[in-house]
Structure 1
Amino acid sequence: MKNRYAQTSGLLGLLLLASPVLGQNYEQIAKQIVNTSAGVKPGELVMITGGQHTLPLMEAVAVEVARAGGQPNMLLTTDKVARATSVEMPESAIQASKSSNWLLGADVLIQLPSVEDAKTVLAGTTPERQAKFAKVAAEAGLNKKLDAAKVRGVFVSYPSKSYAANQQLDYASYEQMVWAGIGTDYTAISTQAQQLKQLLATGKKVHITSPAGTDLTFQLAARPVFVDDGVLTAADQQEKLIYNRTAALPGGRIYGTSLETSATGRLAASPGTWNGKPFQGFKADFKSGQMANAKADVGNEDLQKYLATYDPSVMQLSSFSIGLNPAMKAQEQKGYNPNTAAGMVLVGIGGNELQGGQNKAATSNSFPIANATVEVDGQVIVRNGQLVAPITAKAAPGGKKSPKAGSR
């Protein structure tokens, strides 16, 4: 799981992203983002970031912030500028972002996609360059500052024709699914997430298997468990950890960290992408939490360069995630594995400090496991990629989540 706040740019990073779709009701979507998910209040400073392609929705969000009595401030970028920063800037000039002060001073961050075609933007970048961005960001200590700050965040992803083309997805179906995922029934998701959170918060041992060959166990060690159910309630907004003050659209995910030295077994990941290129047949062994014998059938050269660039802490199993959104669907053979898809399981390696873990590695990565079976202390909560306990949320495209207790 990538750190949403401190990625290759040192602050906002490059997400797998999207462009606005003609004909969408941006005003309606903005109301959901500002009033339901972020809970913007009068007088709050709201930073709104995104790419040039997202300007119509950014504008609608800014207008809605003003209508709610907040103070909107927009930060816009383009693919060309993002590429210049990520790939063309002299390596000697790479340093921690100086723009973090406005983030730390804001009440709310609403982040839309910064680039439209991440594959093109990142083409030609090297693992060494990416590692330098990650190193200077880590040294700046933004993670600790974010926990101590008051800012809360809502991250909005939505359909992109370039991303769909890169993944060989049917754009019309993909577009419809993402908007349905944003408008799903978050009340049902929240109910299920809270029940799973209680089980994971008190559990000790997780066992993950899959038909592809995953057979992995790790310990939970009473770490924080985070719920992303698409809405930040008044209670959420007062939480100490930044990830408890963070929501995504589409939402629907429960996640946390593992005891860093506890992972044992075999990981066989589903097909995906690495630096925008196909990544298939990944397998690795784990012993005492450390990854070994990592190899991919397709994309192995880039993988090995990545592993050789960082210190061993990046190869330590550190996190897990289970998707809860029934509207989101994976297409495994095309490498499309949204982490919010109901029953989708991801495990992560590397830094997990923002999630309450102890691994301070400068970067992190995650691997999807489709059709997984997950047991917590022997109790099955996912079987062959299907959520089985305690309640299966039902999609309700266009629906809205009822406020949880303590919400505004």
Structure 2
Amino acid sequence: MPHEKVAPEHVMLTKQLLDVSLRTKPGQRMWINSWDHTLELASDLAWESKKRNCEVLLTVQPEDLWLRSMIEAPLELVDNLPAHFAAALEETDIYIYTLGPRKPIPWNTIPAERRKSVSVWLDTRYDKSRFAEQWAKVARRNKVRMVGIESTLATPERAESIGLDLEEWRRAMFEGCTADPGEMASQGRALEPLMNGEGQVHLTTPFGTDFRFRLDKRPPDYSYGLATEEKAERGEVVFLPTGGIEVSAAEDSAEGRIVYDPLIRTGKGEVEDLTFQVAQGRIKQVSARSEKRSSSVILEKELAMRTASDISDSD
């Protein structure tokens, strides 16, 4: 059977990934891990890697199996890095994985005591699971360069859930994946001195956000799309789209109000004007307007838990 023509966006993405972000060389051993909804991209990526004379291992994670495992599988299997995973990683030079699953994770179906074991990001800066911690130890020891493709999160199901225009979201993701690392680095390095140290930050928006916090002494974390040896030595993942500088706040210094201006859709309804009141680094009050008045309390609690988790994970 003749091979189908590769989608133009896949051609550009694989070239950027293999030739710019990773600068692959013949003979390198590559492991590509894909969700089932991203298999076409993973297959194209594997083929382009083979054309560059790289050795390729391609694995697939079915969404249904993953979710059932998170809910029902013995906890020791979910929590720990299997020996054969570790063995494969030890023989790997480059690890590439797509982000997923296709649908938003139904956290309410996962027992509360198991949620901390769910590993999605794999990078221990954001992923606090034991699996990710054990993975990072092996990756650091073997200096595995790792890239996570975030653009695969732009799915119809997720766009509907959070109220985004799917095509616009995909376009923004694709442009971020193929942006010029040199240009990003030039602009980013000009900002790094301003975002370092112990400065005071004051954020305001026309929609009502008025939020202050103090930077701590930790250096900024930046990513310009290059999977370097230095990042491999730290066990860090380079995510695409890229081009960001992250700073961390002194945890007890955050004060003020955060207002989410977009309409937020969840499985239980729609939420407008989601607002957090923060004092001494903690969320003290949550309010929102919902079209489904009877379920507004449930929605507020659900969104507060989700957003608070996002805030804590980004510290």
TM range (shorter): 0.7 to 0.9
Distance between the aligned counterparts of 1:123 and 1:138, measured in 2? 15
Q: Do residues 260 (structure 1) and 251 (structure 2) align? A: yes
Q: Do residues 349 (structure 1) and 311 (structure 2) align? A: yes
- Per-residue deviation at 1:194? 1.3
Q: Which residue does 1:31 correspond to in 2?
A: 15
Residue deviations 1:339-388 (CA, integer Å, cap 9, x gap): xxxxxxxxx52245xxxx6xxxxxxxxxxxxxxxxxxxxxxxxxxxxxxx
Q: Do residues 65 (structure 1) and 58 (structure 2) align? A: no
Query: Partner of 2:8: helix, strand, or coil?
Result: coil
Change in CA separation of 1:218 and 1:104 when aligned onto 2, cut-off 3 Å: farther
Distance between the aligned counterparts of 1:176 and 1:127, measured in 2? 36
Q: How many residues align?
A: 290
Q: Which residue does 1:301 correspond to in 2?
A: 298
Opposite residue 262 of structure 1, the aligned amino acid is S
Opposite residue 200 of structure 2, the aligned amino acid is K
Q: Which residue does 1:111 correspond to in 2?
A: 97
Distance between the aligned counterparts of 1:217 and 1:143, measured in 2? 36
Q: Which residue does 2:183 correspond to in 1?
A: 188
Distance between the aligned counterparts of 1:35 and 1:165, measured in 2? 34
Instruction: Give the RMSD, CA atoms, in angstroms.
Output: 3.8
Q: Do residues 284 (structure 1) and 276 (structure 2) align? A: yes
Q: Is the 8 A contact 1:230 1:251 kept in 2?
A: yes
Q: How does 1:119-158 map to 2 (within 5 A)?
A: 119=104, 122=106, 125-126=109-110, 128=112, 131-134=115-118, 138-139=129-130, 141-142=133-134, 145=137, 148-149=140-141, 150-156=143-149, 157-158=151-152
Q: Do residues 249 (structure 1) and 211 (structure 2) align? A: no
Q: Do residues 55 (structure 1) and 39 (structure 2) align? A: yes
More helix by share: 2
Distance between the aligned counterparts of 1:166 and 1:53, measured in 2? 17
Q: Which residue does 1:338 correspond to in 2?
A: none
- Per-residue deviation at 1:165? 4.3
Percentage of pairs with the same residue: 21
Q: Which residue does 2:122 correspond to in 1?
A: none
Q: Is the 8 A contact 1:279 1:296 kept in 2?
A: yes
Larger Rg: 2
Q: Which residue does 2:68 correspond to in 1?
A: 84
Opposite residue 62 of structure 2, the aligned amino acid is T
Q: Which residue does 1:95 correspond to in 2?
A: 78
- Per-residue deviation at 1:275? 6.6
Distance between the aligned counterparts of 2:265 and 2:117, measured in 1? 17
Distance between the aligned counterparts of 2:285 and 2:167, measured in 1? 40
Query: Partner of 1:221: helix, strand, or coil?
Result: coil
Change in CA separation of 1:283 and 1:308 when aligned onto 2, cut-off 3 Å: closer
Query: Partner of 1:271: helix, strand, or coil?
Result: coil
**Greater relative contact order (Cα 8 A, min sep 6): structure 1 or 2?**
1
Query: Partner of 1:265: helix, strand, or coil?
Result: strand
Gaps of 5+ in 2: 120-126, 291-295
Distance between the aligned counterparts of 1:146 and 1:276, measured in 2? 38
Distance between the aligned counterparts of 1:78 and 1:294, measured in 2? 36
Residue deviations 1:244-289 (CA, integer Å, cap 9, x gap): xx33322222212112222122222333658766454222232322
Q: Is the 8 A contact 1:206 1:217 kept in 2?
A: yes
Q: Do residues 41 (structure 1) and 25 (structure 2) align? A: yes
Opposite residue 269 of structure 1, the aligned amino acid is Y
